[in-house]
Amino acid sequence: MVLQEETNKELLEKEAHRLYGLLGSVSRSKGVKWTLQDCQQAAPYTLAINRLKKEKNAVILAHSYTVPELVYGVADFSGDSYALSRKAETVSADIIIFAGVWFMAETAKILNPSKQVIIPAGHAGCTLADAITEEDVRKLKAAHPGVPVLCYVNSTAGVKAESDVCVTSGNVFNIAANMPQKELIFVPDLLMAQNIEADLKRRGIAKKIISSGGSCCVHDKYTPQDIEALRRQYPGIKVMAHPECRPDVCAAADYVGSTKGMTDYVAASKDKLFGALTEFGLVNRLEAEYKDKTFIWPYGTCAYMKRNTLINTFQALSAPKPEQIVSLSPDVIARARKSLQNMFEMTK
Ligand code: SF4
């Protein structure tokens, strides 16, 4: 479907100014902010997408790491994996357009299977979710009989189906601490597994974490030298890191937490200057929502998340291609749902 350009100039200008009001404080790239002209280019798409959403009875859920023109231009709800999964569960519209990566769209399908779930970026992967298969989990379980499996939400539906409890970066530390077993299997983030062990040790809890998988190609790049450089250049800066970072990076940061955790940390802090060792999209969100604070971002973008654009969102909403539609077997949905529901129970 080709975009029918809106011809009402007044409407287009109004939309461009609406976008500029939201995005004017947001960086497009390092040191370059959104301009009114950028918003004028985005406006025909945001108008068309918002109109089409109503016609098709669709909602758009966008992860905070996707581009800000999606988050602020067309999304009905945006947030981190946990918030989006809770939201997906309660969607009553016929269609969920999920701007994110494949495992997240699968999670929406698992939690609300009667809806059509469409992901604009098609098979946008994730280096964590792609690091382990359900067969790998079965082998781990066979090698460690009786040891419960915790899977990070950044995992495929098949891996979730083989796991006992799904976890997020926001709740994994408490869930791991509260489980009675002395040994836990954790997949697929090897760095987060080390961070869990370190956190349990700090709490005085002796527990062995058996892990397998890989790492996030964005967060595993940060080093303690990045933090030293930030502190040298910006005295007094508060440095935030995600638990997908290396343990030595987490140890050197002022705050370690999930996407929501970092947002809450900024909201509660009287400080004005923050270093964000995380994906650029979260920096954009913080810039948009805390205009009186400054965020220094060394580097780090997720190429998978950035595959969701206004153009493919419009196309996916108009006429989705088979590779954009999430389809899962009822058996996988039922088993994966159990691990997610266990997480919701254990997070209460
Ligand atoms: S930022 Fe990392 S964990 Fe998140 S989707 Fe991208 S590769 Fe996966």
Q: What is the pLDDT of residues 172-190, one digit of tens each?
A: 999 999 999 999 999 999 9
pLDDT given for residue 64 in this prediction: 95
pLDDT band at 2 (very low <50, low <70, confident <90, very high): low
- Are residues 145 and 65 both part of a single domain? no
Query: Does residue 152 sit within a domain?
Result: yes
Protein residue with its CA nearest to atom 5 in ligand 1: 126
Q: Which residues of 160-182 are buried (b: 16+ CB within 10 A; e: fewer)?
A: bbbbbbbbbbbbbbebbeebeee
- Are residues 98 and 134 both part of a single domain? no
CATH assignment at residue 109? 3.40.50.10800
- Are residues 47 and 118 both part of a single domain? yes
pLDDT given for residue 1 in this prediction: 61
225 C-alpha to center of ligand 1: Å?
22
Spell out the alpha helix ranges (H) of the chain.
Answer: 9-23, 36-56, 68-73, 81-89, 102-111, 134-143, 157-162, 172-178, 190-202, 224-233, 247-252, 259-268, 280-289, 310-318, 330-347
Domain with 137 in it: 129-215
Query: Does residue 347 sit within a domain?
Result: no
Q: Which tokens in the block code for residue 99? A: 């701007």
The reply to whether ligand 1 has any atom less than 6 angstroms from the CB of 154 is yes
Helix/strand/coil for 16:
helix
pLDDT digits (tens, 9 = 90+) for 22-73: 999 999 998 899 999 999 999 999 999 999 999 999 999 999 999 999 999 9
- Are residues 162 and 238 both part of a single domain? no
- Rounded Cα gap, residues 220 and 146, in angstroms: 31
Residues 150 and 168: beta-carbon distance below 8 Å = no
Number of domains, the chain? 3
- Are residues 68 and 82 both part of a single domain? yes
The reply to whether ligand 1 has any atom less than 6 angstroms from the CB of 302 is yes
Residues 185 and 165: beta-carbon distance below 8 Å = no
Atom of ligand 1 nearest to the CA of 304: 6
Angle at 140 between CA 138 and CA 144, to 5 degrees: 115
The reply to whether ligand 1 has any atom less than 6 angstroms from the CB of 279 is yes
128 C-alpha to center of ligand 1: Å?
7
- Are residues 235 and 168 both part of a single domain? no
pLDDT digits (tens, 9 = 90+) for 107-134: 999 999 999 999 999 989 999 999 999 9
Query: Does residue 33 sit within a domain?
Result: yes
Residues 305 and 75: beta-carbon distance below 8 Å = no
pLDDT digits (tens, 9 = 90+) for 325-346: 999 999 999 999 999 999 999 9
- Are residues 115 and 33 both part of a single domain? yes
